[in-house]
Structure 1
Amino acid sequence: MSQTVPVALTPETSRELITRFKSRLKSGGEALRSAYEAHPLTEPILKGRSRLVDGVLVDIWKEFGIPASASLVAVGGYGREELFPFSDVDLLFLLDTEPDHDLSERLTQMIGLLWDVGLDIGHSVRTIDECIEEAGLDVTVMTNLLEARLIGGNTLLFERFSDQLRGALNVAQFFKAKRLEQEQRYTRHNETPYSLEPNCKESPGGLRDLQIIGWISRAAGFGTHWRDLASHGLVTAEEATELRDLERFLQHARIRLHHIAGRREDRLLFDHQEKLAHRFGFEANEHRRASEVFMQEYYRTAKKVTQLNTILLQNFWAEFFPNRYPAAININERFQCVRELLDVRDEGVFDRHPSALLECFLILQQRSELKGMTARTLRALWRGRKLINAEFRHDPANRALFLRLLQQKRGVVQEMRRMNQYGILSFYLPAWRRIVGQMQHDLFHVYTVDQHIMQVLRNVRRFMVSEHAHEYPLLTRLATSFEKPWLIYIAALFHDIAKGRGGDHSKLGMKDAREFCSAHGLDETDTALVEWLVEHHLSMSNVAQKQDMSDLDVIRRFGDLVKTERRLTALYILTHADIRGTSPKVWNGWKGKLLEDLFFATQRLLRGATPHQALGMPLRQDDARNLLRYYGLRPGTEDKLWAQLDTVYFMRHDAEEVAWHARMLYYRVESDVPVVKARPTHGDEGLQVMVYMKDQKDIFVRLCGFFARLGFTIADAKIHTTRHGYALDSFLLLDPGQETHYRDVINLLEHDLTERLSDPDSPIDQPASGRLSREVKHFPISPGVTIEPDERGQHYIMSVTAADRPGLLFGVAETLASNGINLHTAKIATLGERVEDTFLISGPNLTQDTQVLKIETELLEKLAI
């Protein structure tokens, strides 16, 4: 290598170069942005920034006098001239031999200067042999180098590099590696395009899914444009046009994200969604924000990208491994089996036999050896979906076929998901089309409406499969013995189908369900069940999570609503599946127990028990006594404590809790010091805490402050005062961060809380002020407070709705205490970022409207902080 004198970068020279090139990049970037905003076209801004950076790099290359034997090469996205506003710039410094000291110095100074002028550089310095070796070891390196483009320097060296790289490339291995890479990427992003804040580059259905097609096409020599794939018969001309349109939408999203954030940002964060929507021209309507309208368009785009990605990868597989599998096996006159995949015998099958659009899914359910569909079947299905019109939907044979899909022993969820993925469900159920990709920004559901329904269907189906009986034994027993379980599948499909229309989605969905059942020939009894389930799919969770189930009237009213055990069983199954299908964070064992308790109480009532018997009152004390005998306590040990407890206590606590309290307190009924005991709940999902002490002012406020300071949220609270003036309070605590090992904190909690309660003059713990989450900031929840007398007029029910945050319950308790209000029970329902809490309260001030208004006003001020 020829020797050259390193450029001498004095501080003055360096500052001059930095100022000059930084200004050039800034002014050039601003001009590109202005041009884009005036005429939003993706190619001019992406290629324009690539050429802007090209010019700067070539000039800097010259400034440093890099030898003519070296080449400056753009790789990756920069190599294909797709440089987004704040994307990094991937460079290869290609050398003919190992660099000497002088060249290493020049390259080091040059790279430093590139960073200083504002370019986010990703770089490598390699010879051709090193490039080939690294590409053979790492498919990511091979991918980057495949898109190499010469910017400046030695042309012959670059051509030699390109020829050797092409010779080292094994297309079939490259295809396998890229497909595996995509599977791993999907796993990292939870295998769904439908997250609340998707990454428009990396998430399934994002730009990367299109780029992987381009890389494989380039590697196989099929070309670098979508129309090239069409010319090779891998897609149709229509699909090539659609791929380009999808790519443009995602490119616009990424360009605008970079502009809005002022930096490289590929996630569609809540912070940016509303601005993005307006940049795309979406506006709010009567029922939805502009961001929700935009996100629905994004999800639909992502869905189409995954569809076409699947078809193309299968086409590539057939191209690269043509003779790997045995000949086709005929299934019937329309379908055959090829490589364990369902294949149409010719691509005109659906045109001649439109009902085959449903039949193909039934065959997949009935033949377990089939693992999916061939690419040409998917392509024919995609084209044929528009044959599902009013005439198709009214055909009795097609209606019978659709019902058979729901009545199969296997594959119900998988094929419904496949039908949703390829648009068949949207054409067969027109109401479904409106919920595809529809986000629910209630911060409770983390899935789009259609994906949530699929989760609920999956949960219901799981109860029907004996292999999963260990998960929820009771539900499996009920589900497997339920006559016509497919009726619950129909209810699951329709329970949220009217979301986003405005009005009560349960009532609107009920009408859709009734029309479906009537059209598909269900008898009046079955139709009435499905219709009722859709109308009342929220009723059981509302009662279990928000009402006092120790109240006889609550159980009686719910029993009057349900009327039959068949309805109760179906609603219990659907409700459990629905709550678990909203978000992985929403479900817990405590909610499961609430539903189970309500189910058994109502079941006993429907079987002829009195309300007292339905709540287990005659048996509860007997069961508790049996448990005490099991633990070795003599008969009568519990009598002294129980003499101080009234009927309400036994109604609000189950036998196991009653026995636990008696074991802890039978010898301390007149204790002068507080008794604090804690234990993990079943399954270690939370912590049960019992506090027993002489009643005094502000106990509940003190307890709320203490628990909040430790970072716990109170999921349930039962407040009781004994006949002899002792407070016996029970709490269920949860760690919202799910990081606590509950057994590890029991001793500390018992010691510290006992010490705190023993000194009535100690200051009340003040919870740390909690910040609202990003989600709540962008989708605020208006606080609400209502105080109304209960039906018997003895107590009042206070309902509170607000955005969740640490210390929220403390603020409520503090306000109640300062107004002389007694708290009897607290039912805490946390739904994602939203809390809907219900309190049973009493106090002389509640009889005066002015005092109730004062309390409500004070609470709203606390909740609005």
Structure 2
Amino acid sequence: MDTGVLDPGAAHAVARPENIFDRGAAQAELAEITAAGDGGVRARALQALRARLDAGRREIRRRFETEREPGSSLMRATAFLVDEVVRTLYAYAVEDLRPAGTPSTGERIALVATGGYGRGELAPHSDIDLLFLAPYKLTPHNEQVVEEILYLLWDLGFRVGHATRSLDECVRHARGDVTIRTSLLEARHVAGDAELTEQLNQRFAREVQAGTAARFIEAKLKERDARHKRMGDSRYQLEPNIKEGKGGLRDLNTLFWIAKDVYRVAGTDALVRRGVFTEGEAKRFAKAQTFLWTVRFHLHELTGRAEERLTFDLQKEIAPRMGYLDHAGASAVERFMKHYYLVAKDVGDLTRILCAHLETHHGRRSRFRPAELLPRRSVDGFQVKGDRLSVRGPHVFRDQPAEMLRIFAVAHARDLDIHPTALRWIRQHRKQLGGPVRRDPTANGYVRDLICAHKDPASILRRMNEAGVLGRFLPEFGRVVAQMQYNMYHHYTVDEHTLFALSELNRIERGELAEIAPIATEVIHKVHSRRALYIAVFLHDLGKSYPGDHSEVGARLARRMGPRLGLTAEETETVAWLVEHHLDMPQVAFKRDLEEPQTIRDFAATVQSLERLRLLVCLTVADIRAVGPNVWTDWKAALLRDLFWNTEDELSGGFRAESRDTRVRHAKDDLTARLSDWSPDALAAHLSRPYPAYWLAWDAETHERHARLVHEADASGRHLTVDTRVDGYRGVTEVTVYTADHPGLFSRIAGALAVAGASITGARIFTLTTGMALDTLWVTDANGGPFDDPEKLAALPETVERTLAGRIKPMQELAARRTGIPSRYAVFTVPPRVFVDNNLAPRHTVIEVDGRDRPGLLHELTQTLTRLNLMIHQARIATYGERVVDVFYVEDVLGGQVSHDSKIKRIRERLIAVLEGDGASDGRRGQGRVVVPIET
């Protein structure tokens, strides 16, 4: 008998089954209850059976927690328990509840397990799929039996997916529906007439499977590809779905379905005998399956439901339960997740091996195969087997290790795949990719040229990475393979993020992101150091596997690796500079006032040249877009564009070349021309209201809009005006508030917006000479898009008014909305930090607050600044998953910078106290924040 792991079965290989469920004793107990004949028989029978079911589950849980049995044993034990319950219920239904004497031929019935239950693959809270199989149409008696069994299962708490079909119906449906065919492929007899189940198996093989293997393969692989796309199409997501995600259990199921349908086998042992897998690959399959099953069992037990997503909080719980401990340089959860990603990579590797074998032996055409190459027997010195590159034997890679790199270069250039046998030989000899070959200029040239390839380099580098070649040849890259970034901001492991960034850079170069990133799309064709740009993107995060600041460490790695990869001294220095400064552009764009000349001068002094500015904006866009879905927004794009243009002007000698007074005069002249319909007195009155800083902060169109808003509000005597405008350029909604200024006004407005469900991304705050405040805030909805719901926009002025009047208490309102559900944020700790700097702006003190996010935090921070007698003139609001970074430009009550050491110390202490306050949260805050990528 085949002992492989593809089809574990359910009723066999379960240790001490009598301790889990004793069917004989259960049936005797039910018979005794029935024989008593008094009232409540059914309820007492259910109670007795439920007690035995619960005892069986406790025994399985004990083996799980105390004996540390692996997931494979636990899945089988759970399936065995369900089998025994179903068999007991069947006997109870036909013997005690619905006895029919000797059944006729038409009254035969079989209970058949299908789906995961048919494979014997049941986690604690899995559904059970049952087929009630009849020879012909179900008789009235059998309908009653089926109904009794289903009601008993539901009363016991099972979630049952069921179908009632005849033999003919099963065959007919399986022919026309690949889902039903797959379900019947896993059919396993549980109770009733075993001969019926055998007849089904025979007819299924003869009438459904015969001659249709190729169609079934195509259907399952197409289904798999669609599922991968739906789940994010990466096996390296930081919160993976271990069942449906790429590299998860469903991929192993797909292998099982294809192997069982095509080769008519039950386990991997048979696939080894057929030459599909080697013994080593079969062992990798078994280890992957056991690991994933064990993780799934933990997920179900911890959550008490059929949870399949390995979220951050569950990762931290499961890691120690599976024996992972903190080690120097890596926490237990990081080590656990690295193991998970390596297992997911193995699943992908095994899938490719099986698919390659199917393409070779079952006529499937490789997606890489160009028709003009098919007749050829060799390409660039490599053999062509079918449509795949190979070599004469394993000695080629052993004696010429650089060929392990060249074969990938040729495959990419020729749009060919690599034969699975060649990949096996590569895995066997990849240890040769060290020592001399790492110093070989030719070998390094292959890798460098692939990194800089004009045709999507990420695709071939990903194949090299999954074959274990890239990390072996470049150990600096090997250190970040499967390295998770344990936070809620990044979506992928470091190596996968790196490859995504290369892909995004290539898309920029090909013009695919012209509407999303027009500046980068334009300037990438103006850079002189294209090779340096691509190498910098590849190296930019490699420092994350070493202690210290990863940008500085990465720059040192770049200086070491550049010459090895064949870069010139100039290219190497450019790469090192880009890696060291790859966070600078988002740091400035998302945290600093871009209308402040000092900000632009300082950034331009760092960049120094237009070439570096162009390189940096391309790297920045690619880096941010590779963080994860929905991280890139129009607001961030607009801020990066503004910084690029202002810096370009500065480097060209044009940014703010005019004096401050001249610029103010020009702004007033422009507004005068736009307000030609105003009387001279009204115009003079308005021009005298704003202080000089206001005129420098806005363009002429905004000056006009504000002027008309102020004039109309004053003329109508309104004490509060709230104006909203959707800004399509920035992808935000601009909220302008005009009202009497008073201490704490901005804090109250921030609280009102939080209550309204708006997330603040930035603010500019001005007080006019009349004592009125003219504040502008940019907000988004909870998903990062414009806050443009008509009903919410209509309600916003009233919410602001009631908050300013004290009728709404923002903190109380937000607290009342908390659900009490534990937050995934709870597993993260962010040390609170407060920076106070008087060198970033000549007139303002810049306060940067860094800590753990929670609802209403912005309101609390601004309220604290108000109580410290500080006036907020501008705010930049940002989050990175669980971490918040807010920047405030402030003045003291006399209108200058905060200069006294004692006052600065008090600011730090008060803000730290807010950050360390009660952070009870019901999940993503959505109040006053937007995700902005700085630490990518």
TM surpasses 0.5: yes
Q: Distance in 2 between matches of 1:747 and 1:774?
A: 29
Q: Deviations over 1:133-189 (max 9, x none)?
A: 222232222222222222233232222111101112222222122112211211221
Q: Distance in 2 between matches of 1:356 and 1:804?
A: 51
**CA shift for structure 1 position 621:** 7.2
What pairs up with 1:265-304 in 2 under 5 angstroms? 265-304=307-346
Q: Distance in 1 between matches of 2:634 and 2:576?
A: 29
**CA shift for structure 1 position 515:** 0.8
What pairs up with 1:424-443 in 2 under 5 angstroms? 424-443=469-488
Distance verdict in 2 for CA 1:172–1:509, change over 3 Å? same
Q: Distance in 1 between matches of 2:849 and 2:559?
A: 35
Q: Distance in 2 between matches of 1:642 and 1:489?
A: 51
Distance verdict in 2 for CA 1:744–1:660, change over 3 Å? same
Q: Deviations over 1:89-128 (max 9, x none)?
A: 3222222232222321222112211233344433222221
1:781 has 2:812 as partner: no
Pick 1 or 2: higher relative contact order, CA cutoff 8 A, min separation 6. 2
Match of 1:710 among 756, 777, 784: 756
What pairs up with 1:188-587 in 2 under 5 angstroms? 188-321=230-363, 327-330=374-377, 332-335=379-382, 341-344=387-390, 346-348=392-394, 349-351=396-398, 353-367=400-414, 370=415, 372-587=417-632
Match of 1:829 among 867, 875, 878: 878
Q: Distance in 2 between matches of 1:761 and 1:513?
A: 57
1:116 has 2:116 as partner: no
**CA shift for structure 1 position 687:** 0.6
8 Å CA contact retained: 1:549, 1:555: yes
Distance verdict in 2 for CA 1:386–1:227, change over 3 Å? farther
- Fraction of identical pairs, as percent: 31
The aligned residue for residue 94 of structure 1 is 133
The aligned residue for residue 178 of structure 2 is 139
8 Å CA contact retained: 2:71, 2:292: no
Distance verdict in 2 for CA 1:663–1:458, change over 3 Å? farther
Q: Distance in 2 between matches of 1:215 and 1:345?
A: 31
SS at match of 2:773: strand
Q: Deviations over 1:284-307 (max 9, x none)?
A: 234443212211110111012112
8 Å CA contact retained: 2:284, 2:346: no
Q: Distance in 2 between matches of 1:664 and 1:426?
A: 61
Q: Deviations over 1:172-231 (max 9, x none)?
A: 222122112211211221111222321212211011111211111111234221121121
Distance verdict in 2 for CA 1:461–1:796, change over 3 Å? same
8 Å CA contact retained: 1:601, 1:615: no
Counterpart of 2:81 in structure 1: which amino acid?
L
SS at match of 2:481: coil
Distance verdict in 2 for CA 1:218–1:627, change over 3 Å? farther
SS at match of 2:165: strand
The aligned residue for residue 20 of structure 1 is 48
8 Å CA contact retained: 2:127, 2:161: yes
Structure 1 range deviating more: 642-651 or 705-714: 642-651
**CA shift for structure 1 position 48:** 2.8
Q: Distance in 2 between matches of 1:259 and 1:219?
A: 33
Q: Distance in 1 between matches of 2:351 and 2:640?
A: 42
**CA shift for structure 1 position 667:** 7.0
Q: Distance in 2 between matches of 1:220 and 1:582?
A: 40
8 Å CA contact retained: 2:871, 2:893: no
The aligned residue for residue 3 of structure 1 is none
Match of 1:51 among 66, 70, 80: 80
Distance verdict in 2 for CA 1:724–1:84, change over 3 Å? closer
8 Å CA contact retained: 1:602, 1:614: no
Distance verdict in 2 for CA 1:668–1:265, change over 3 Å? closer
1:720 has 2:766 as partner: yes
1:685 has 2:731 as partner: yes
**CA shift for structure 1 position 703:** 1.6
Q: Distance in 2 between matches of 1:536 and 1:574?
A: 10
SS at match of 1:172: helix
Point out where structure 2 has 5 or more consecutive residues left out of the alignment.
1-33, 96-101, 919-936
Distance verdict in 2 for CA 1:619–1:844, change over 3 Å? closer
Structure 1 range deviating more: 213-222 or 784-793: 784-793
Q: Distance in 1 between matches of 2:392 and 2:679?
A: 81
Q: Distance in 1 between matches of 2:703 and 2:836?
A: 30
TM-score (norm 2): 0.84
Counterpart of 2:292 in structure 1: which amino acid?
L
SS at match of 1:823: strand
8 Å CA contact retained: 2:359, 2:365: no
Distance verdict in 2 for CA 1:790–1:217, change over 3 Å? same
Q: Distance in 2 between matches of 1:773 and 1:483?
A: 52
Distance verdict in 2 for CA 1:656–1:35, change over 3 Å? same
Distance verdict in 2 for CA 1:81–1:773, change over 3 Å? closer
SS at match of 2:520: helix
The aligned residue for residue 63 of structure 2 is 35
8 Å CA contact retained: 2:535, 2:575: yes
Q: Deviations over 1:658-689 (max 9, x none)?
A: 45434544677888534433211124721112
The aligned residue for residue 613 of structure 1 is 657
8 Å CA contact retained: 2:276, 2:354: yes
8 Å CA contact retained: 2:763, 2:776: yes
SS at match of 2:94: coil
**CA shift for structure 1 position 819:** 3.2
Alpha-carbon RMSD across the aligned residues, in angstroms, is 3.3
**CA shift for structure 1 position 753:** 6.8
Distance verdict in 2 for CA 1:754–1:780, change over 3 Å? closer
**CA shift for structure 1 position 564:** 2.1
Counterpart of 1:718 in structure 2: which amino acid?
R
What pairs up with 1:652-663 in 2 under 5 angstroms? 652-662=697-707
Q: Distance in 1 between matches of 2:668 and 2:345?
A: 55
Q: Deviations over 1:488-534 (max 9, x none)?
A: 11111111112143311111111111111022232222111111111
Counterpart of 1:363 in structure 2: which amino acid?
V
8 Å CA contact retained: 2:235, 2:245: yes
**CA shift for structure 1 position 458:** 1.9
Q: Distance in 1 between matches of 2:43 and 2:551?
A: 67
1:699 has 2:745 as partner: yes
**CA shift for structure 1 position 654:** 4.2
**CA shift for structure 1 position 390:** 2.2
The aligned residue for residue 116 of structure 2 is 77
Counterpart of 1:26 in structure 2: which amino acid?
D
Q: Distance in 2 between matches of 1:747 and 1:193?
A: 40
**CA shift for structure 1 position 719:** 1.0
Match of 2:790 among 723, 740, 744: 744
1:176 has 2:243 as partner: no
Match of 1:731 among 755, 758, 777: 777
Counterpart of 2:573 in structure 1: which amino acid?
A
TM-score (norm 1): 0.91
Q: Deviations over 1:777-811 (max 9, x none)?
A: 12233433344444678542222123334422222
